[in-house]
């Protein structure tokens, strides 16, 4: 029996595949490289010394995707494949609705047809909208401020509807906070196309000399230094969260929802300072106007994942920055 990983060549997917292979799981990856590079697959093999099956398939193409279900005995699915740029989703909403929703519907439909019962879904802290207090627990009200977030919320609703009527359907909705860092080998890491949307790759590209300076969006938020506060989580901790979620699904748990964060809120300037310490490089920055749609603060209460999955983030800010820097300095142009 195999685990199908959609989007397994991407940032979080590749790190999760490494953890699953290290746990001797049998893996199949589906990716269309719309936001990743096939070199990441070679690097996974280099790290783990293990083989896996790969299909270059677009998940919105149900016919092609069905071949993967036909040719394999799939036990569980971890569904990472999606577009994820919040800003772009505002300008190209249809692109996001088509890719993120259609991919998921195709997979769910094929799961039904081929009687696959376990599904892990990549959701996001963005489904909490602008939270009214902190830390955020899983029972907070849900809302979104952009089309990307709307796709995550819609899919959560679809999964809840299915779980209501199919008691044999096991689904883990994992709400990630802000994934950063890289595998300790420095062989895989975050490799955004073009100018990064997220803070950490932006900082690391300034440090390595690819970008001139960091624009810090907003210096007048009601936070300890005026810049936005987020819950950064090491991508390897996040990957291990998926291994634990899979174990949970195998107990026939039905639908479960977990926040995956550290519970620590760090500001943009905290991150700049920590990165400068880890890399011994200066990170030039300037404070500019707030960015529309950004919330001042966001951090998780992950007690539920700790209690029910036995999962807790173990890497701190120092490792997040050191591992990012190792990846970035060894691969100044990412996988290219």
Ligand X SMILES: NC(=O)c1ccc[n+]([C@@H]2O[C@H](COP(=O)([O-])OP(=O)(O)OC[C@H]3O[C@@H](n4cnc5c(N)ncnc54)[C@H](O)[C@@H]3O)[C@@H](O)[C@H]2O)c1
- Looking at 13, 181, 228, 263, which residue binds ligand X (CB under 6 A)? 13
Which of these segments, 75-83, 181-189, 291-299, 326-334, binds ligand X (CB under 6 A)? Answer: 75-83
Which one, of 61, 62, 56, lies nearest residue 36 by Cα?
56
Question: Residue 83 catalytic?
Answer: no
Cα separation, 19 vs 13, in Å, equals 10
Residue 270 Cβ vs ligand X, minimum distance, rounded to whole Å: 18
Q: Is 104 in the site for ligand X (CB under 6 A)?
A: no
**Which single residue brings its beta carbon nearest to ligand X?**
10
Cα separation, 20 vs 31, in Å, equals 17
Q: Is 146 in the site for ligand X (CB under 6 A)?
A: no
Which of these segments, 66-74, 76-84, 163-171, 200-208, binds ligand X (CB under 6 A)? Answer: 76-84
Site string for ligand X, 39-68 (x = CB under 6 A): -------------------xxx--------
b/e sequence 189-204, b meaning 16+ C-beta within 10 Å: bbbbeeebebbbbbbb
Handedness of CA 202, 207, 210, 215 (dihedral sign): positive
Q: Is 187 in the site for ligand X (CB under 6 A)?
A: no
CA distances from 263 to 233, 274, 297, 306, 322 (A): 9, 18, 12, 12, 20
Residue 113 Cβ vs ligand X, minimum distance, rounded to whole Å: 19
**Nearest to ligand X of 158, 281 (CB atom):** 158
Which of these segments, 42-50, 79-87, 112-120, 312-320, binds ligand X (CB under 6 A)? Answer: 79-87
**Nearest to ligand X of 189, 309 (CB atom):** 189
Q: Is 89 in the site for ligand X (CB under 6 A)?
A: no
Residue 126 Cβ vs ligand X, minimum distance, rounded to whole Å: 7
What is the DSSP code string of 148-187?
A: HHHHHHHHHHHHHHHHHH-TT-EEEEEEE-EEE---TTSS
Cα separation, 329 vs 208, in Å, equals 6
Cα separation, 265 vs 169, in Å, equals 35
- Looking at 89, 99, 104, 302, which residue binds ligand X (CB under 6 A)? 99
Burial class (CB in 10 A: 0-12, 13-18, 19+), 22: middle
Site string for ligand X, 210-249 (x = CB under 6 A): ----------------------------------------
- Looking at 20, 47, 84, 118, which residue binds ligand X (CB under 6 A)? 84
What pairs with residue 175 in β-bridges? 123, 259
Contact 159, 255 (CB under 8 A): yes
Q: Which of 11, 55, 148, 176 is catalytic?
A: 148
Which of these segments, 1-9, 19-27, 134-142, 274-282, binds ligand X (CB under 6 A)? Answer: 1-9
Contact 4, 77 (CB under 8 A): yes
**Nearest to ligand X of 25, 58 (CB atom):** 58
Q: Is 266 in the site for ligand X (CB under 6 A)?
A: no
Residues designated catalytic: 148
Applying CB under 6 A, the residues found at the interface with ligand X are: 6-7, 9-13, 30-36, 58-60, 80-82, 84, 99, 103, 122, 124, 176, 178-179, 198
């Amino acid at each position: 029996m195999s685990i199908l990983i959609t989007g397994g060549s991407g940032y979080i997917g590749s790190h999760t595949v490494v953890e699953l292979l290290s746990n001797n799981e049998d893996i199949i990856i589906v990716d269309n490289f719309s936001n990743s590079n096939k070199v990441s697959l070679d690097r996974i093999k280099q790290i783990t010394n293990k083989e896996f099956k790969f299909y270059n398939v677009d998940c919105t193409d149900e016919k092609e995707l069905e071949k993967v279900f036909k040719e394999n005995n799939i036990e569980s699915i971890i569904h990472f494949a999606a577009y994820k740029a919040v800003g772009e989703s505002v300008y190209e909403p249809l692109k996001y609705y088509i890719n993120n929703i259609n991919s998921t519907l195709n997979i769910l439909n094929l799961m039904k047809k081929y009687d696959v019962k376990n599904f892990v879904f990549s959701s996001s802290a963005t489904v909490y909208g602008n939270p009214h207090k902190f830390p955020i627990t899983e029972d907070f009200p849900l809302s979104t401020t952009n089309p990307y977030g709307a796709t995550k919320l819609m899919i959560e609703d679809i999964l809840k509807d299915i779980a209501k009527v199919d008691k044999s359907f096991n689904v883990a909705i994992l709400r990630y906070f802000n994934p950063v860092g890289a595998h300790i080998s420095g062989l895989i890491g975050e490799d955004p196309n073009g100018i990064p949307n997220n803070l950490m790759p932006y900082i690391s590209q300034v440090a390595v000399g690819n970008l001139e300076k960091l624009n810090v969006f907003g210096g007048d938020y009601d936070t300890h230094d005026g810049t936005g506060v987020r819950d950064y989580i090491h991508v390897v901790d996040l990957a291990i969260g998926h291994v634990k979620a899979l174990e949970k699904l195998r107990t026939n748990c039905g639908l479960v929802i977990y926040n995956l964060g550290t519970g620590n809120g760090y500001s943009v300037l905290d991150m700049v300072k920590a990165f400068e310490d880890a890399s011994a490089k200066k990170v030039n920055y300037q404070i500019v106007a707030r960015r529309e749609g950004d919330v001042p603060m966001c951090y998780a209460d992950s007690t539920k994942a700790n209690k029910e999955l036995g999962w807790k983030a173990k890497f701190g800010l120092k490792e997040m920055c050191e591992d990012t820097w190792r990846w970035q300095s060894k691969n100044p142009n990412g996988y290219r």
